[in-house]
Structure formats: C-alpha cells, structure tokens
Amino acid sequence: MSFSKLGLSQPLLDAINEVGYQKPTTIQTKAIPIVLKGSNLIAAAQTGTGKTASFVLPILERLSAGQTERKKRARAIILTPTRELALQVNQSIEAYAQFTSIKSMAMFGGVDYAPQKQALIDGVDIVVATPGRLIDLYGQRAIHFDEVETLVLDEADKMLDMGFIEAINKIIARVPEDAQSLLFSATLSNPVRDLAKSAIDNPEEIAITKHSASKSNIKQWIVTVDKDMKSSLLSHLLQQNQWKQALIFIETKHGAAKLVSQLEKRGIAAEAFHSGRNQKVRQQLIESFKAGEIQYLVATGVAARGIDIENLPVVINYDLPYPADEYVHRIGRTGRADAVGEAVSLVSKDNFKNLCMIESRLGHLLERVEFEGFVPRKPVPISILNYVPKHKRGEER
C-alpha cells in the first residue's frame, strides 16, 4: 500500500514525501478512506502507530476542497488532553499542510489569552485545543462553533482520565449536529465506549489493539529491587548502559525533584519535568530533550503525555504506572514508528499487584533481571496472569 492509493491529493503527497514517510501505517491505511468519505469513526490503536496523520491527512484533504477560514470560526477542532500534545499535533498539521493554504493553531491553558484570540481573529481552519481553554474562549465569544465540519477527540482515554468529560460534552453539544466526529484512543475502555455512544452517531469502528500491547520492537524487562535501593540502582543502570538518552517516569512531582538531586550527587545530570514547573520551563525542557541537550529527563506520567522524541532508546519506569494501560502507553514513548527501543521497570515487592495487572494486560510475563549488589532482600513473587483485582471480582458477580 502506498499513500498515493489512499485518495490524497498532490500537495499532501508532496508533504508526506518531504516528511519522509515511505508508506502508511495500518491505522492510516484503514482510517484515511473512512475519514475522507465523511463518516464518523472510533478508532483504537496503540501509542506510536501514527494515529495523528490518520485523521489529519484526510481532514486536510476535505478542508482543502472547501472555503477557507473566516474569523473566529474553526472548520475542524481537535481536542487533546495536554498542552504538549496540542503543540505536537499542531506541528504535525503544519508539516502535512505545508503545500496547502490551510492554517492551524494550538490552544491551551496556562498562557495569555491575547495571542490565541488574535490568531482566531486573523483566521484559522483547524484549532488543536485542550478542552478547558477551548470552552473558556468559547464562553468569551472568541470562537464560534457554527462552522465546525469535523470534531476530533484525540487520546480520548487520557482526556477522560484527566477529568475533561464535562468540557468535552459541552463542546460536543455546541458543534453543529451534522459535523463529522472522530474519536481516537489507545484503548477502547468502557468509559471511552460510553463517550463514543453518547457523542458519535453511527460510527465505523477500527480496533487494532488486540494482542499488540507488546510491540515486538520494544525490548521490555524488569529489574527486581528493594524500594530503598531504587535510586542507586537507577544510577548504576544509567552508568552501565550509557544510553544516549532516557525518559524516566516517576509517580510524584516531589519524587521527581528528589530523584534528580540524588542522581546529581552521583554525578549524573538530569532534569525534572512535572506539572509543578511552569509552562515555559516545560516547553524549554522538551525542546532541549528533543535536541539531545538533556540526556536524562525525570518526568511524572501526566506531564510526559505526548512527548514524542525520535529514536528515544529507552523508557525507564522508576515507579510502575497504574493502571496497566498507562504502562502500555508509556513504553510507547520508545520504539516509535518501527524504531527499536527498550523499556525497563524497577519493581519492588510492594509493586507486586501492579506488576500482575500489567503482565496480565500484556498477556505474558516480562523478562526479569537482577543486578549484583541490588538483589532484593524482599523477593518479588512471580505474577499470576489473568489477575483480577479484588474489587473487580466483586463487581462481576
């Protein structure tokens, strides 16, 4: 399959060529024709499978055929869970639209209103927004939804996790009833299905998540270790492996700051990335990390959503994430678009249940490694697959 067979016109094919994509990914092959013909769609495919282009390219195609932007009116709205992701999706749009006249903008909270309002007055076709700021600007009459032709819910699972349901529902209720609706998600969990059911009429459905939770191009392993030894084990791993870069996930903001200073004491320079740091600093950190100027980034899960670094060699879970889908999502930060990556998790005995859930989700046990000098005093038992947490068992009765 090649992009030229999917019904995209020359300016888009030229841009794809410029960006360097050889052929469409599976989700792109399936989704692009559906979106092009104007149908509603719900699609699940794991992180790093190219979902962005699967909706952006056909949207650009459809918008190119119609009228261009009017002030304070968007013709397509893409909702994303975080600022970082909004910026990233907008960058993709700019790349794919470089030979068209389509204009786009990213819109998110935590920054001044004025430039965003001005951009809307100047006129854009596509707004990529976090739900809160969009509804905020809508309330201020800085943007009207009456000309919205397509609404996209990107990373719907994460938007629900982050509590955006109310803002999303408000937006859905205010776009024209006949607008095309598209929902993309890493997983089609029950809450996502509920949202789809209430918000999207007659959708076609694509799901390519099954059995692919473990991508074969990501080498996954765990190191068992006592909790109080984690930070020295991490230093050991970083020094031993000499990864070009590593993204290190940790549970709390406080933990991130503490870990960075512990690493520093052992002569390892790292930066902390979490929601407690201001937007400008976060943006700079991402830019520097992307540019390779920062070797180790210690990040909390929510903050790191959407960070997309080419050739990131390794993701390290200093803390195991919860729920299991978050693990799948995190490790998707490496091994992007068929590159080879590694995902290492530090696991102590108190993480056992969490490990069970993750390995059950993957459908297989993860390779275990112990390091000399770090062999745990409290061993981590071998997981039971098909593990069901206690409260869930109760629910099913």
Q: Does 308 bind ligand ADP (CB under 6 A)?
A: yes
The string over 254-275, giving b where at least 16 C-beta atoms fall within 10 Å of a residue's C-beta and e elsewhere, is ebbbebbebbeeeeeebbbbbe
Task: Confirm or reject binding of residue 334 to ligand ADP (CB under 6 A).
Answer: no
**Start-end of H helices in the chain:** 10-19, 26-36, 51-65, 83-96, 114-122, 131-139, 156-161, 165-174, 190-199, 230-241, 253-265, 279-290, 301-304, 324-331, 352-362, 390-396
Q: For residues 53 and 93, which CB has a smaller minimum distance to ligand ADP in the complex?
A: 53
Q: From CA 341, how far away is CA 333, in angstroms rounded?
A: 9
User: Closest by alpha carbon to 155, among 59, 211, 90, 85?
Assistant: 85
Q: How far apart are CA 357 and CA 115, in angstroms?
A: 45
Residue number with CB closer to ligand ADP (25 or 220): 25
* Residue pair 147/74 in contact by the 8 Å Cβ criterion: yes
Dig out the tokens for 166 from the structure. Answer: 């109310």
Q: Which is nearer to ligand ADP, 247 or 380 (CB)?
A: 247
- Beta strands 180-185 and 150-153 are parallel
305 binding ligand ADP? (CB under 6 A) = no
Q: Is 58 in the site for ligand ADP (CB under 6 A)?
A: no
Residue 48 within binding range of ligand ADP, rule CB under 6 A: yes
The residue among 238 and 335 lying less far from ligand ADP, judged by its C-beta, is 335
Can you tell me the distance from the alpha carbon of 311 to that of 117, in angstroms, rounded to the nearest whole number?
36
Q: Does residue 335 touch ligand ADP according to CB under 6 A? A: no
Binding mask 26-45 for ligand ADP (x = CB under 6 A): --x----------------x
Give whichever of 47 and 345 is closer to ligand ADP, judged by the CB atom. Answer: 47
Residue 49 binds to ligand ADP (criterion: CB under 6 A): yes
Of the candidate spans 51-59, 121-129, 133-141, 245-253, the one that interacts with ligand ADP by CB under 6 A turns out to be 51-59
Task: Name residues whose C-beta falls within 8 Å of residue 194's C-beta, 6 or more positions apart in sequence.
Answer: none
Q: Would you count residue 208 as binding ligand ADP (CB under 6 A)?
A: no
Pick between residue 154 and residue 319 the one whose CB is nearest to ligand ADP: 154
How big is the site for ligand ADP, counted in residues (CB under 6 A)? 15
Contact 32, 7 (CB under 8 A): yes
Phi-psi region for residue 80, left (φ > 0), alpha (ψ -120 to 50) or beta? beta
Instruction: Tell the smallest beta-carbon distance from residue 12 to ligand ADP (Å).
Output: 13
- Based on the shown chain and the rule CB under 5 A, indicate whether residue 330 belongs to the binding site for Mg ion: no
SS3 content of the chain, % helix, strand, coil (to 5): 45, 15, 40
Among 6, 12, 24, 249, binds ligand ADP (CB under 6 A): 24
Pick the stretch among 50-58, 162-170, 172-180, 380-388 that binds Mg ion (CB under 5 A): 50-58
Contact call for residue 236 and Mg ion (CB under 5 A): no
Nearer to ligand ADP, 69 or 157 (CB): 157
DSSP letter, residue 40: -
Q: Which is nearer to ligand ADP, 96 or 108 (CB)?
A: 96
- Applying CB under 5 A, which of residues 30, 51, 336, 361 lies at the interface with Mg ion? 51
- Residue 50's binding partner among ligand ADP, Mg ion, none (Cβ under 5 to 8 angstroms by kind) is ligand ADP
Residue 26 CA to residue 44 CA, distance in Å, equals: 11
What values do phi and psi take at 119, rounded to 5? -60, -40
Q: Between 3 and 22, how does the x/- string for binding to ligand ADP read (CB under 6 A)?
A: ------------------x-
Distance CA(358)–CA(354), nearest Å, equals 6
- Pick the binder of ligand ADP from 30, 51, 62, 83 (CB under 6 A): 51
Contacts to Mg ion by CB under 5 A: 51
Contacts to ligand ADP by CB under 6 A: 21, 24-25, 28, 45, 47-53, 308, 336-337
